[in-house]
Structure 1
Amino acid sequence: MRYLRAFLEAVPAVLLLAMALLTSVSAATRYLINTPIPDEYEISRMLLSIVICWGMAAAFYYNDHIRLDVFWGRASPAAKMILSRIGTLLSLIIIGTYSVALWLKVLDTMRSGLLTIDLGLSVWGFQFAAWLGTLASAAVLLTQTIWPPRHFIEEQPIDQAL
């Protein structure tokens, strides 16, 4: 489990660092030698989609996504378990559908042979990496649907003084 957590954190972090470096170096070369890095914008854009998809997997792993705290804070532990399972199941359905749609897009892009303009990089490889992130999200959600993490539900109640 520790390796999975490290992997889910490392993939988006490394790709976000690569995006930042690519953008910074391109801005510097544009200023210093009046020549940007070829396809910098396209590569950064595609890296961002990969970061978002793998970041969703990490957020689902930590159960660190948006909840409606008005109901959650006042619910009993049993109600929290039911709400958590319903939310996880709905998220699994949505992410599963998105994963299938993205896989079809990957296949379509692979068949069409779409390339970036300057460097001629295959776009489907970037889309495939993003699809792997949605697949990781679906796997995490499936695991949490079957075996919900109890330690996320048994948290401190919200302050009633507000």
Structure 2
Amino acid sequence: MDRIIDTIEAIAALFVGLVAADIFLSVLLRRFFSIQIPDSYDFGRMLLGILIFWGIAATSYRGTHITVDLVWAQANRRWKRVIDIFATLVLLFVVTVQTYTLFDKVRSTYVDHVLTFDLGLPTWPFFAVAWIGDVSAVVLIAIRTFRLIVHPEEMRESRPVSR
């Protein structure tokens, strides 16, 4: 399971690099050479969407997303575990529904043959990669739920300092 988790996190990091490179290259070419990459805006927009869904996958397992843990911080060890399990189950439900609806977006962009503006490339593969990131989030949240319930000792420190 740890290999799956690490792979998903590495893919998310790759997309961070791709988005940063796209933005940097676009600005550099436009500023100094007055050249615009065809479909740069479309690629940037779709890569950012991909990044968001893969980022959800990466942060969902670790529980390192921004949280406000006023009740959790005051609870004893047993109640902290109960709260973590409940919150993770809610997150699993929400992200599963989100994954289902995002698949509809992938399907509709494929069926409607939605293309980029300049090059006329199909957009559905970008939506499909984002959807795979969302599926990865569901898998990681399910692993997190399983570990919280059955093997809580396998969980690394799941909460940052409360903010």
The TM-score with structure 1 as length reference comes to 0.87
**1:136 corresponds to:** 136
Q: Which runs of 4+ in 1 moved over 6 A?
A: 153-156
The aligned counterpart of 2:93 is 93
Query: Do the aligned partners of 1:113 and 1:122 also contact (CA within 8 Å) in 2?
Result: yes
Q: Which amino acid aligns with 2:125?
A: G
Structure-2 change in CA distance of 1:153 and 1:34 (3 Å): closer
Percent of pairs with identical residues = 31
State the partner residue of 2:19: 19
Separation of aligned partners in 2, 1:66 and 1:121: 36
Change (3 A) 1:153 1:20: closer
2:22 is aligned with what amino acid? L
Tell me the equivalent position of 2:103: 103
Aligned-partner Cα distance in 1 for 2:35–2:157: 55
Map of 1:117 onto structure 2: 117
Question: What is the CA deviation profile of residues 8-55 of structure 1, one whole-angstrom value per residue up to 9, with x for unaligned ones?
Answer: 222122122122222222222223332211111110111111111111
State the SS of the aligned residue for 1:105: helix
Partner letter of residue 150 of structure 1? Answer: P
Cα distance in structure 2, aligned partners of 1:147 and 1:28: 46
CA contact (8 A) 1:77 1:153 kept: no
TM-score (norm 2): 0.86
Bigger shift: residues 133-142 or 29-38: 29-38
Amino acid at match of 1:36: Q
* Alignment partners' CA distance in 2, 1:85 and 1:9: 22
Match of 1:150 among 149, 152, 158: 152
For the aligned residue pairs, the C-alpha RMSD in angstroms reads: 2.1
User: Would the alpha carbon gap of residues 96 and 155 (structure 1) be closer, same or farther in structure 2, given more than 3 Å must change?
Assistant: closer
* Deviation of 1:155 (Å): 7.9
Higher mean alpha-carbon deviation, 7-16 vs 93-102, is at 7-16
CA contact 2:63–2:158 (8 Å) conserved in 1: no
The number of residue pairs the alignment matches comes to 157
**Counterparts of 2:112 and 2:158 in 1: how far apart (Å)?**
50
Give the distance between the partners of 1:140 and 1:121, measured in 2 at CA.
32
Flag structure 1 segments of 5+ consecutive residues without an equivalent. none
Aligned-partner Cα distance in 1 for 2:129–2:157? 35
